[in-house]
């Protein structure tokens, strides 16, 4: 894979202020892509990501938007077009959790998770596709979850949103395949991010029993696949759900 294979390309990474999103932004930047760093509330972290991206010799800026709100997505896309004139690569990474057993789950907890995780993927993809059609080249990479494949107690809303993204990927990949646009989903398992860091040792030990490799993943495990799928080495890969979970989904 050429070190600067994506030179001249523009990537929008949602939820790029930290974790998998940040690692993905840095990976694509290292390959030469300019980066739009989307964030919702973590402005300082997003600006830090921008600085790190720029240190790799590409252009970047931070753009605030709640991807679950159509008007904010529209404004974000307008800002990106004004800055870069195009979007070649979209990483739908932004996501939230509001866990709870279904019996006690509020309408708000259900709606917020669906709005951000699923509707956000829809809003951003629809906007990006219009631009990708014009250039007849594009990459959409959705960040799903292992629980979208196997479920998890207390996460009916989250599991449903991530499972729906898999179906979204299959259908959209078929719709845009003749335009040299690929659409794939990566389903991470438990990755060493803030989500894992807040777990108790007892919770971590219980989770480890589900993972054949007996260890948590690192953000680079995901971002390396993001870089591969964005590259021309993956030009014949589309409509796939790729698990990076230490064997958890087996």
Active site residues: 158
**First and final CA of the chain: distance in angstroms?**
29
- Report the run of H or E that residue 167 belongs to, with start and end: helix 156-176
Quickly list DSSP for 9-72: -EEEETTTTSHHHHHHHHHHHHTT-EEEEEESS-HHHHHHHHHHHHTTTS-EEEEE--TTSHHH
Cα gap 90→151, rounded to integer Å? 26
Is residue 90 left, alpha or beta, with left meaning phi > 0 and alpha meaning psi from -120 to 50? Answer: beta
Cα gap 50→58, rounded to integer Å? 10
Q: Measure Cα distances from 148 to 34, 100, 151, 155, 195 in Å.
A: 31, 16, 6, 10, 17
Token pair recorded at residue 150: 């196997």
């Amino acid at each position: 894979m050429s070190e600067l294979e994506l030179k001249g390309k523009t990537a929008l990474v949602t939820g790029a202020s930290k974790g998998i999103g940040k690692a993905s932004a840095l990976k694509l930047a290292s390959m030469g892509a300019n980066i739009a760093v989307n964030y919702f509330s973590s402005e300082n972290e997003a600006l830090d990501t921008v600085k790190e991206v720029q240190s790799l010799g590409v252009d970047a800026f931070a753009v605030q938007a709640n991807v679950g709100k159509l008007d904010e997505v529209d404004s974000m896309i307008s800002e990106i077009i004004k800055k870069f004139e195009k979007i070649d690569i979209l990483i739908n990474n932004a996501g939230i959790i509001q866990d709870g057993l279904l019996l006690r789950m509020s309408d708000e907890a259900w709606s917020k998770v669906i709005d951000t995780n699923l509707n956000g993927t829809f809003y951003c993809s629809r906007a990006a596709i219009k631009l990708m059609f014009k250039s007849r080249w594009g990459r959409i990479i959705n960040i799903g979850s292992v629980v979208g494949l196997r479920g998890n107690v207390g996460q009916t809303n989250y599991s449903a949103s991530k499972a729906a993204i898999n179906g979204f990927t299959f259908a959209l990949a078929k719709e845009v395949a003749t335009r040299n646009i690929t659409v794939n989903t990566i389903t991470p398992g438990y990755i060493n991010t803030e989500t894992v860091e807040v777990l108790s040792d007892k919770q971590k030990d219980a989770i480890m029993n589900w993972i054949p490799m007996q260890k948590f993943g690192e953000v680079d495990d995901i971002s390396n696949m993001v870089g591969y799928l964005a590259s021309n080495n993956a030009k014949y890969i589309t409509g796939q759900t790729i698990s990076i979970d230490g064997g958890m989904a087996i």
